[in-house]
């Protein structure tokens, strides 16, 4: 028995539950960033250092917020925003970029 994932594929959401007590707890996961809700819940469980049932609700929410921030940072590293002038990642375009050329 342990922490499991409930996954509603019709509504694209997932949640954690304790298979010992049959009680759901913690955050709700949604499809995002090319990952389905189930994959995101699994990633969160792998990221946590301990069984999520060991945390009280506020600590679990705090850790979930930290995980979301880390996930957003990773997404930016992997997919940086593009320059509207040349299409290269922002900050890497050269002097010939239309966005850098000053109009008279």
Q: What is the pLDDT of residues 44-67, one digit of tens each?
A: 999 999 999 999 999 999 999 999
Neighbours of 63 (CB within 10 A): 19
84 domain residue, yes or no: no
What total number of domains does the chain contain?
1
48 domain residue, yes or no: yes
Read off the pLDDT band of 104 (50, 70, 90): very low
86 domain residue, yes or no: no
Q: What is the pLDDT of residues 71-101, one digit of tens each?
A: 999 888 888 888 888 888 877 888 778 777 5
Neighbours of 55 (CB within 10 A): 17
| pTM assigned to the model | 0.76
85 domain residue, yes or no: no
94 domain residue, yes or no: no
Q: What is the domain range of residue 53?
A: 3-78
Q: How many CA atoms lie within 13 A of 1 on its CB side?
A: 8
């Amino acid at each position: 028995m342990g922490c499991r994932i409930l996954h509603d594929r019709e509504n694209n959401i997932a949640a954690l539950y304790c298979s010992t007590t049959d009680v759901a707890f913690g955050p709700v996961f949604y499809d995002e960033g090319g990952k389905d809700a189930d994959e995101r819940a699994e990633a969160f469980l792998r990221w946590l250092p301990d069984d999520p049932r060991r945390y009280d609700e506020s600590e679990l929410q705090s850790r979930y917020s930290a995980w979301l921030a880390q996930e957003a940072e990773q997404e930016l590293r992997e997919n940086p925003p593009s320059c509207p002038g040349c299409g290269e990642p922002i900050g890497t375009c050269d002097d010939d970029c239309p966005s850098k050329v000053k109009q008279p």
